[in-house]
A and B are shown apart, each in its own frame.
Chain A
Amino acid sequence: MGQTVFRPAQTGVMLKRRNGIWLNRFSQGLFVLLGLLVVYVLGRAFFQNPSVFVQQVLNGLQLGFIYALIALGYTMIYGIVKLINFAHGDVFMVGAFTSFYAVATLDLHRWPAWIFTGISDGVMMLIGTVTVIILTMAVSATLAVVMERFAYRPLRNKPRIAALITAIGISFFVEYFGALPFVFTNNYITYPRPFELSVFSAGMIAPWIIVAVWVFFVISVIAYVWLTYLSRKGNVQAQTWKRHPLLQFGLLFFGFMAVVLTLTGVEIQTGGKVWDLSASNVTLVIMGGSILLQVLLQYVVSHTRLGKAMRAAAYDKAVARLMGINVDGVITATFALGGGLAGAAGVLYATAFKQVHHLMGIIPGLKAFVAAVVGGIGSIPGAFVGSLIMGQTEVLAAGFISTPMRDAVAFSLLIVVLLVWPQGIFGEPPAEKV
């Protein structure tokens, strides 16, 4: 505004320009004030009622773990094909519906009881749920691969916008095909959980479980620190062991588990009032499943030939092809992995919120995508951290800033992160080719 598009030639009178550093300081101060306002709102909420606040944080954790699974698919596909796969949220939706039919119609979560009579309920639930999740993952992975094969692959060498429009088209197609009366119908359907919900709060967990979880966590931390120390000294094997999936799983799973179980299982008091936090087995299942799948994915990407090929294809497809990598196969595998994770996320989401609907994939899908961007697109730990941040933002915004504005706050976070940290938390700055 006010300036012409062409810069005026600096001839004749040179404008005496001064350093604008104080203006910059002033505006930084404004943004800091804004940040302090947010901190004040949250801090006041915490001190007014710490137990409600921490309960919200726990709820946000659950949401974040689900987003993480969806975000992984987005981040991998974007990393390799540079495509925002808008249909990913619908793979998630199809996953939720698959598990709905598996549980409600086929009763598949009880299959161990068909074969082994007299099996205990707990074991049956565990095996049955795992079966349902694996089946759902297979179905969603197939769907994702079909999408890739018939819609995206023919457009591989066409302008990227064509693939994006195709993604939007597929997304609409899956959503509204699902809305047809003989497919999924367009009603909200109540989802029967494959296992019963049991909420536990202070005093309901045996102390030895909490202690054991802490012990496991401490052991993994010690192992991690020790391996770091060894690898610093130049031990190559220690470096490999440090990234072993079991160790990572132990660190993450027992870490989160220890915190959640301590908060809910131990009676914490402030000012004579018990905090009375509660968590459910659904939260724990979501946490465990999400962490397990992520660690497995991390293992696949960093330790296997397929993962190496994926990383090579993400780095430079043409060169990867020259090195004899079957890039199309790698892309298919990426879609399969991403689709499988989205399907698992669909089961967990439906289990947590007890509802399936043919449009349920849109908003979680978008939020997971935002989470992937916040964490740095193309990075697996980034997707995880970004999703946790996203879940917390959403739940805390809903709880303490304004409930109807939760989506607005979540997407404002996106814009703020993009402005402050354009490539996300773990992302690498884009290499500019001139």
Chain B
Amino acid sequence: MLKRMKPSVAFITVGLVVFVVVQVLLSVGLLNNYWRGIIFWGAAITMVSLGLNLIYGFNGQFSLGQYGFYAIGAYASADVTWRWVRGDPSGLVVVLAGTLLALGLYVLLSAFLRRFYGVTVMTRFAFYVLATILAFAIAVTVAVPLLGPVFTAVLGVLPAVVSQQIVFLLALLGGAALAGIASFLFGIPVLELGSDYFGIATLGFTIIIKVLLDNTDTILPFPEMKGARGMIGIPQWTTWPWVFASLLLVIVVMRNLLHSSVGRAIVSVREDERAAELVGIDVTNAKILAFVVGSVFAGLAGGIRAHDLAFLHPQSFNFIQSFNPLIIVVFGGLSSMTGTIVTGFFWILLLEGILRLVLPTGFETWRLVVYPLILLLMMLLRPEGVFGRYEIPFLRRAAPPLPSKADNDGAAKGGVPQEGAA
């Protein structure tokens, strides 16, 4: 068992080679800012799509909310570093203290709620929301005046380069954690719905988040986010090691999660919820776990993207964009991590790179006409995705999954994984 969890030599080699080659090309200057942006963007969208693949491909919950969590991660981490650069540690303190407090309260609350039977979903939801509000209220009122000077002093002792990297790491983690908390709260009641209704509700979530981002300076108390005008002045701290490390982290975490017993529980929920429940799997928890982990990936990607672009605009998080991860996941092949990784990079390359370069001048607007045509052709020719269920050896599951017929005729059978599809 343990032996299998170890990364293979080939995987490490390939990873190192990719890392070194891109790093060298970037330092030499062979890849200009444009290509650098495409690679970083591709990495971010790959992380988002891997999260969606966990939620939809492996757990069978059709979700369109991935960009909402991406936006939460992006704006939260950007706000932390924005404030830090301007000498204000409050963002950092609120995010860290609030997250930790909230997690602590969740543990206490779940222990408390387990002492009762017959507690409805909405009650659990209400209590968790109250706990979250309490945690962040404490963080804002108590932790900021207490811990703010401490953070400034401790990080001020370190050299600026080191403290900047530490703050960036904390900001990324904070953004991801906030996305996780949001998905946890949203998932408790909504994951109960299942099938298409869950997809519709998550679509609503994305739209609500976008509208809130449009009004960050008027309705929400964040004047630095500047609402619909877009947030500027975010430090551009994302470098290739950061991108590579987070992408690798996401891949490894997801792979190990799926190879564990918890991962098999997650996959079994996709195959048949009833059967999974009958063999003693806590379906609700498996769904929430997959949803939260997938959203944390999206939040992390948001932080990476925000500090690469140094500019955030609500329009880049609207629900039309949120179809991108879905398209990538389906293109690559549902429940194929390899497919998602390859297609994630390829998709950005296609949209931003190839189509922009191939189309002659004067035909720039045709880019958005050609790309849906590619989409349509692809779906007509190979609806199961480019990679189907193929995985490279490192990501392959130890025991090959049983051939499940339901995967390909979800429409005919009122049954399993495509139940979530629309």
In the complex, what's the smallest C-beta–C-beta distance from A157 to chain B, in angstroms? 7
Indicate whether A404 sits within 8 Å of B214 (C-beta atoms), given known contacts A362-B320, A422-B193: yes
In the complex, what's the smallest C-beta–C-beta distance from B37 to chain A, in angstroms? 23
Contact of B380 among A82, A155, A186 (CB under 8 A): A155
Within A128-160, the residues touching B (CB, 8 Å) are 151, 154-160
Q: Are A3 and B327 in contact (CB under 8 A)?
A: no
**B contact residues around A20 at 8 Å (CB):** 113, 116-119, 123
Contact of A160 among B120, B219, B418 (CB under 8 A): B418
Indicate whether A176 sits within 8 Å of B372 (C-beta atoms), given known contacts A24-B118, A164-B422, A404-B218: yes
Indicate whether A1 sits within 8 Å of B280 (C-beta atoms), given known contacts A166-B379, A370-B204, A407-B207: no
Contact of B368 among A176, A404, A414 (CB under 8 A): A176
Indicate whether A161 sits within 8 Å of B127 (C-beta atoms), given known contacts A6-B282, A7-B280, A418-B200: no
Q: Are B115 and A161 in contact (CB under 8 A)?
A: no
In the complex, what's the smallest C-beta–C-beta distance from B189 to chain A, in angstroms? 5
Complex interface: stretch among B14-22, B82-90, B338-346, B406-414: B406-414
Q: Are A6 and B372 in contact (CB under 8 A)?
A: no
A1 to B219, CA, bound (A): 31
Contact of B421 among A160, A318, A366, A412 (CB under 8 A): A160
Within B367-418, the residues touching A (CB, 8 Å) are 368-369, 371-373, 375-376, 379-380, 383-384, 407-412, 414-415, 418
**A204 CB–B CB distance under 8 Å:** no
**A47 CB–B CB distance under 8 Å:** no
Chain A residue at minimal CB-CB distance from B377: A169
Indicate whether A415 sits within 8 Å of B201 (C-beta atoms), given known contacts A5-B289, A404-B211, A408-B212: yes
Q: Are A165 and B368 in contact (CB under 8 A)?
A: no
Q: Are B204 and A161 in contact (CB under 8 A)?
A: no
Complex interface: stretch among B103-111, B137-145, B152-160: B103-111
Q: Are B118 and A166 in contact (CB under 8 A)?
A: no
Chain B residue at minimal CB-CB distance from A175: B368
A126 to B373, CA, bound (A): 41
Q: Is the interface of A mostly helix, strand, loop or mixed?
A: helix
**B contact residues around A176 at 8 Å (CB):** 365, 368-369, 372
- Interface readout for A23-39 with B: 1 if CB under 8 Å, 0 if not? 11011101100000000
**B311 CB–A CB distance under 8 Å:** no
In the complex, what's the smallest C-beta–C-beta distance from B284 to chain A, in angstroms? 9
A434 to B126, CA, bound (A): 32
Q: Are A24 and B120 in contact (CB under 8 A)?
A: yes
Q: Are A24 and B123 in contact (CB under 8 A)?
A: yes
Q: Are B106 and A1 in contact (CB under 8 A)?
A: yes
Contact of A172 among B189, B214, B371, B418 (CB under 8 A): B371
**B contact residues around A2 at 8 Å (CB):** 106-107, 110-111
**B95 CB–A CB distance under 8 Å:** no
Chain A residue at minimal CB-CB distance from B122: A27
A422 to B191, CA, bound (A): 12
Interface size class on chain A is 35 or more
Contact of B285 among A5, A84, A155 (CB under 8 A): A5
Q: Are A433 and B411 in contact (CB under 8 A)?
A: no
A322 to B215, CA, bound (A): 55
In the complex, what's the smallest C-beta–C-beta distance from B130 to chain A, in angstroms? 8
**B184 CB–A CB distance under 8 Å:** yes
Q: Are A23 and B190 in contact (CB under 8 A)?
A: no
Q: Are A419 and B376 in contact (CB under 8 A)?
A: no
**B231 CB–A CB distance under 8 Å:** no
Q: Are A157 and B411 in contact (CB under 8 A)?
A: yes
**B contact residues around A212 at 8 Å (CB):** none
Contact of B330 among A154, A162, A170, A411 (CB under 8 A): A162
Among B203, B207, B323, max chain A CB count under 10 A is at B207
A166 to B382, CA, bound (A): 12
- Interface readout for B184-218 with A: 1 if CB under 8 Å, 0 if not? 10000110010011011101110110011011001
**A contact residues around B288 at 8 Å (CB):** 1
In the complex, what's the smallest C-beta–C-beta distance from A199 to chain B, in angstroms? 31
Contact of A23 among B110, B123, B379 (CB under 8 A): B123
Indicate whether A6 sits within 8 Å of B281 (C-beta atoms), given known contacts A172-B372, A412-B204: yes
Q: Are A180 and B383 in contact (CB under 8 A)?
A: no
**B contact residues around A168 at 8 Å (CB):** 323, 326-327, 372, 375
**A115 CB–B CB distance under 8 Å:** no
A4 to B410, CA, bound (A): 30
Indicate whether A169 sits within 8 Å of B375 (C-beta atoms), given known contacts A20-B117, A180-B369, A414-B200: yes
Indicate whether A412 sits within 8 Å of B208 (C-beta atoms), given known contacts A5-B282, A18-B115: yes
**B286 CB–A CB distance under 8 Å:** yes
**B262 CB–A CB distance under 8 Å:** yes
Q: Are A161 and B190 in contact (CB under 8 A)?
A: no
In the complex, what's the smallest C-beta–C-beta distance from B406 to chain A, in angstroms? 10
Among A165, A172, A404, max chain B CB count under 10 A is at A165
**A contact residues around B384 at 8 Å (CB):** 159, 162
**B366 CB–A CB distance under 8 Å:** yes
Indicate whether A408 sits within 8 Å of B211 (C-beta atoms), given known contacts A6-B282, A20-B116, A170-B376: yes
Q: Are A173 and B369 in contact (CB under 8 A)?
A: yes
**B229 CB–A CB distance under 8 Å:** no
Among B106, B281, B422, max chain A CB count under 10 A is at B422
**B4 CB–A CB distance under 8 Å:** no
Q: Are B265 and A165 in contact (CB under 8 A)?
A: no
**B contact residues around A179 at 8 Å (CB):** 365, 368
Indicate whether A177 sits within 8 Å of B110 (C-beta atoms), given known contacts A165-B330, A407-B207: no
**A119 CB–B CB distance under 8 Å:** no
**B334 CB–A CB distance under 8 Å:** yes
In the complex, what's the smallest C-beta–C-beta distance from B270 to chain A, in angstroms? 13
**B6 CB–A CB distance under 8 Å:** no
**A21 CB–B CB distance under 8 Å:** yes
**A227 CB–B CB distance under 8 Å:** no
**B contact residues around A408 at 8 Å (CB):** 207-208, 211-212
**A contact residues around B115 at 8 Å (CB):** 15-18
Which A positions have Cβ atoms within 8 angstroms of B? 1-7, 15-21, 23-24, 26-28, 30-31, 82-84, 151, 154-166, 168-173, 175-177, 179-181, 186, 318, 362, 366, 369-370, 373, 402, 404-405, 407-408, 411-412, 414-415, 418-419, 422, 433-434
**8 closest A-B pairs (Cβ-Cβ)?**
A20-B116, A162-B383, A169-B375, A411-B204, A161-B421, A27-B126, A176-B368, A2-B110
Which B positions have Cβ atoms within 8 angstroms of A? 62, 103, 106-107, 110-111, 113-120, 122-123, 125-127, 184, 189-190, 193, 196-197, 199-201, 203-205, 207-208, 211-212, 214-215, 218-219, 261-262, 265-266, 274, 280-282, 285-286, 288-289, 319-320, 323, 326-327, 330, 334, 365-366, 368-369, 371-373, 375-376, 379-380, 383-384, 407-412, 414-415, 418, 421-422
Extra contacts, 8 of them, besides A163-B379, A176-B365, A370-B204 (Cβ < 8 A), are A23-B119, A24-B123, A160-B411, A161-B62, A165-B327, A176-B369, A419-B189, A422-B197
